[in-house]
Amino acid sequence: MQVDIIGVPIDLGADRRGVDMGPSAIRYSHLQHKIQELGYTVKDEGNVEVPIAEMCKITDPKLKYVDCIVPMSRRVAGAVATSIQAKRFPLVIGGDHSLSIGSVRGAARNQKIGVIWIDAHADFNTNETTPSGNIHGMSLAALAGKGAKSLVQLRDEAIPVIDPSKIAIIGARDLDAGEKANLKESGVMVMGMEQVDRYGMVNVIEKAIEQISRDVDGIYLSLDMDALDPEHAPGVGTPVAAGLNQREVHLVCELISETGKLIGMDLVEVNPILDVQNRTATLAVEFALSALGRRIWSHT
């Protein structure tokens, strides 16, 4: 299989600058070479065109930079859809989590998918519940059909809304009040750190996979590096203490890989300005390898 690397250097969805350099940091950690070592053909498609903040205006404080984020999302959706329709594997590297409004949408074009969202946050705010107006906190809600019409429909496209019952959030530990209400209303599976600690990651991810993989054409994995404890991944814009450890995230990627249904993946929120010796970007590459089938030891 061919892996298509698609960079999305966006920081418009977040408050902190610097995450737009995430794609470069991930590439610098030998992403292409290491995937090739697994036996894949790799094509780096370069970066999707993204304007810088200085070129954009905030026309709605509850939807910051929406006029620039919507066209970006459409470009990302097109790139991902093209990759999947050509029977390739899109690996989307960011950039803040607003890019997933495009990537997951593109993966869902003409097919039904399940989504696993590994994140300290649920990203399930809308323009009515957001405390910040930052769109990277609304991306999953928009994909599930909630929130501003411009984000849900990307202005004039048909709505390939992801069935909320086919979404599982893993590792959440920082949810806003309005977001919690949205999640309960939608019926999204939320497996926060309490569930991970109580039941163990194997049970949590197996339950998630069982729910979201039934009657779908594929699984899409969106991995926000702030899901990890800041001790392991310091280079993120919105760190939250008491997060996942490296081994737990590797296990998630490995078990999803073993389903044989993984069709694409996001690696988001790597901020090299806040990182220590590129540790977070290097870790992101390692997780991509696990999702693509790398194992330390095989019993088969």
CATH number at residue 145: 3.40.800.10
Round the CA-based radius of gyration of the chain to a whole number and report it. Answer: 17
Structure tokens at 31: 């992403």
Choice among 163, 174, 224, 229 that is catalytic: 224
d(CA 153, CA 111): 17
- 297 within some domain: no
- 260 within some domain: yes
Q: Is 229 tagged catalytic?
A: no
Q: What is the pLDDT of residues 182-191, one digit of tens each?
A: 999 999 999 9
d(CA 77, CA 83): 10
- Inform me whether the pLDDT recorded for 173 exceeds 60: yes
Interacting residues of 71 by C-beta distance below 8 A, sequence separation 6+: none
- 91 within some domain: yes
Q: Is 119 tagged catalytic?
A: yes
pLDDT of residue 216: 98
pLDDT above 90 covers a percentage of the chain that reads 95
- 300 within some domain: no
Q: What is the pTM of this model?
A: 0.98
- Phi-psi map region of 293: left, alpha, beta (phi>0 left; psi -120 to 50 alpha): left
- 235 within some domain: yes
Choice among 11, 123, 163, 248 that is catalytic: 123
66-85 and 100-107 helices cross at what angle (nearest 10)? Answer: 30
The phi, psi pair for 236, rounded to 5°, reads: -135, 155
Whether 120 and 243 have beta carbons less than 8 Å apart is answered as yes
Structure tokens at 64: 């910051």
> Mean pLDDT across the stretch 223-234?
98
Q: Is 224 tagged catalytic?
A: yes
Residue 197 confidence class, pLDDT cut points 50, 70, 90: very high
Choice among 96, 119, 179, 248 that is catalytic: 119
- 203 within some domain: yes
- 275 within some domain: yes
> Mean pLDDT across the stretch 28-38?
98
d(CA 158, CA 113): 16
Residue 300 confidence class, pLDDT cut points 50, 70, 90: low
Choice among 4, 20, 97, 163 that is catalytic: 97
Number of domains, the chain: 1
Quick one: which of 122, 116, 163, 161 has its CA closest to 262? 116
d(CA 206, CA 213): 10
- 299 within some domain: no
Q: What residue numbers bound the domain in which 79 lies?
A: 2-291
